[in-house]
Structure 1
Amino acid sequence: MFSSEKIPVKGKIIDVTVPISPFTSVFPGDPEPSIEKFLTLEKDGCAVSSLGFGSHTGTHVDAPSHVLKGGLPVDSLDIGSLMGEAIVLDFSGIFGALTGSILDEAYPVKEVIESSSNIPILLLKTKVSFRKEEDSEISGSQAEKSDKRRELEESPENSAYLDASGAAWIVRNGFKTVGIDGFSVDSLSSENLPAHHMLLSNNVNIVECLDLKTVEEGMYFFLCLPLRIEGCDGAPARALLISYL
């Protein structure tokens, strides 16, 4: 699937990774990230930090073992399926479920056929986009700002998600990876996670918490490298888009 000859090395590189810090918003109930000094230059001659965060912190990849009994852990994923030509679709004007019919109507079939017969990666830009611009309008301490920003991002009216039909559309159209800028491909209020189950049981990778706020709809080359943590249900990742000239 992946061919190094297809990387448009002369294109603009766009980092679409949400950075991890003590103020990074996390899914409700997940561990809050912490970064603490363990060794210091002044005392020890070198700097080493102690890191603490959940496996689904910041931009991250969900492994099948996240929701499927006996599913593959993140270190066993086919890394090649997280690289390749990608199409970004902008649903920032839609709130609620992204159904199969909505995806079908938005997918530019003619342009895709002219560009490539097989686009393996679909990225969904929604209203969330981890809008850091809200920070300037929020008063209070850093912790208070983080809490208020999280409330904004988690509000149902500010999020779009895949329903079962939308996830089935992605599987049916042969995508190998789907990414979204929200905390979850499913509704934040969902308990049975139908999109997760549909995608991961059909070997479709899930990348969540992408930072797509400056990314325009269109075609790109996508690279996403999750940390190789043995036996884990997911891992933070560095994700990049490379634009075509």
Structure 2
Amino acid sequence: MQVFPGDPEVTITVAAEIAADGFQVAEVHAGTHTGTHLDAPLHTVQGGSSVDQIDLSRLVGVARIVRLPVVDAGHVFVWSDVEAQLSDLDSVAMVLFHTGWSQHFGTELYLRHPAFDADIALGLLDRGISVVGVDTLNPDLTDLSGAEVDLPFHRALLGAEGVIVENLTNLASIDFADPWVSVLPLPFAGMDGSPVRAVAMEVAVG
């Protein structure tokens, strides 16, 4: 599985088999930011909340999906690109950005994804939204040069005790309004993040 450059690689091996042992057990080796995952504030903020300290009620609720146009690699979206889709957020628990970039997962192009200006994080925080998801590797640009990492979107959102969900996929399949979305992590004590099973549901009202 493709991971952020330098993160632990993913391996899954069979540790016990039914034929030989009477049961099957697999061994999984992966980093806390593998696949679709959640960034806790501790990921980039010294002393920030760890994944097990996040109130789970923040991670289940109505999501606003902001659908963005197809753009070139490395494009940076700014507040004016998303503002029109971010009105009336009073009942919204999280905002998810759909760029379509998840179709490139597993390729070199996926690493050169579009990104989001930190002003978008600040604008969302001003509107009471502190859980943000993207269908890219990173809401910030991923620097492949090996230079010091610069993560302004992370700093803005996680610095305000927000949460980022990365590597979302299948957002195009949500063809109904006001999806009820769950992005619950494993309660890794003292850790900076966790894989999540992101699920969108159509909930009948009344």
Name which structure has the greater RCO, CA cutoff 8 Å, separation 6+: 1
Q: Write the mapping of 1:5-16 to structure 2, written as runs, cut at 5 A.
A: none
* Alignment: residue pair count: 197
CA contact (8 A) 2:60 2:180 kept: yes
Partner of 1:103: 82
**Amino acid aligned to 2:109:** L
Over 3 Å counting, the alpha-carbon distance change for 1:131 and 1:92 in structure 2 is farther
**Amino acid aligned to 2:46:** K
Task: Determine the C-alpha separation between the residues in 2 that align with 1:182 and 1:39.
Answer: 35
Give the CA deviation at 1:213: 4.1
The equivalent position to 2:66 in structure 1, one of 68, 89, 110, is 89
**Amino acid aligned to 1:56:** H
- Percent of matched pairs sharing the same residue: 31
CA contact (8 A) 2:33 2:193 kept: yes
Structure 2 counterpart SS, 1:166: helix
Deviation digits for residues 195-234 of structure 1 (CA, Å, limit 9, x no counterpart): 0010011122111111124334842111111011111110
**Amino acid aligned to 1:229:** F
Structure 1 outlier segments of 4+, above 6 Å: none
Over 3 Å counting, the alpha-carbon distance change for 1:176 and 1:170 in structure 2 is same
Task: Determine the C-alpha separation between the residues in 1 that align with 2:31 and 2:156.
Answer: 24
**Structure in which a larger fraction of residues adopt helix:** 1
Partner of 2:43: 66
Partner of 1:21: none
Partner of 1:4: none
Normalised by the size of structure 2, how large is the TM-score? Answer: 0.88
CA contact (8 A) 2:48 2:161 kept: no
The equivalent position to 2:16 in structure 1, one of 28, 35, 39, is 39
Normalised by the size of structure 1, how large is the TM-score? Answer: 0.75
**Amino acid aligned to 2:118:** A
Partner of 1:129: 102
Coordinate RMSD, CA, aligned: 1.9
Q: Write the mapping of 1:133-172 to structure 2, written as runs, cut at 5 A.
A: 149-155=106-112, 159-172=113-126
Gap regions ≥5 residues in structure 2 = none
CA contact (8 A) 2:60 2:181 kept: yes
